[in-house]
Amino acid sequence: IASGPIDGLAHCAGILRRNPYQSDRARKDRFARVIDVNVRLPLDLGLAVADHMAERGGGSIVLIGSVAGRTGGTSLSTPVDYAASKGALHTIVRWLSRQAVGKGVLVNAVAPGPVKTNMTAGNTTDPKSLPRGRMGQPEEIGWLIAMLLTPAASYVSGAVLDANGGSYVG
């Protein structure tokens, strides 16, 4: 998988279709694509990288979930395929952690709420309606990811850290 050693992996790729799921005539294909990108690919990558890291004595993997995976969506416009995929990703983090932690590989996730990125462009949620009064910034998520990849998180595995400005408290 790699030409050199891998000590840490942050997998941040994902997709979200903004058009309503219920009225999408291609929803069967759409659902399969969202699950493929948001669930299967992180799982396959995580398995491969965890094995590589274990052979070297350990490492850290961080995947990106979502508050939608905990709540079913942050608004009525959150598509079910996205929310389901992120809930599945949270389960993968816990499962993969159980498989890898004994081999020295830590697996965690960050579950952001609405963050100002290209993915949330066109989001109809008024940021002032959020508990923090604004959307998150990419750096605010990045710092959590970075922390999970350092020795500061050497006793953390199987966790899904919420970073949503108070949108979900659980």
CB 144 within 8 A of CB 93: no
Within 8 A by CB and 6+ apart from 112, the residues are 64, 65, 66, 67, 136, 141, 163, 164
**Cβ 72 vs Cβ 83: under 8 Å:** yes
On the 0-12 / 13-18 / 19+ scale of CB atoms within 10 A, 128 is exposed
Question: How far apart are the C-alpha atoms of 98 and 88, rounded to whole Å?
Answer: 15
Give catalytic residues, as residue numbers: 82
DSSP string, 104-140: TEEEEEEEE-SBSSGGGTT----GGGSTTSS-B-HHH
* Tokens standing for residue 142: 């990045």
- Distance separating alpha carbons of residues 159 and 156, to the nearest angstrom: 7
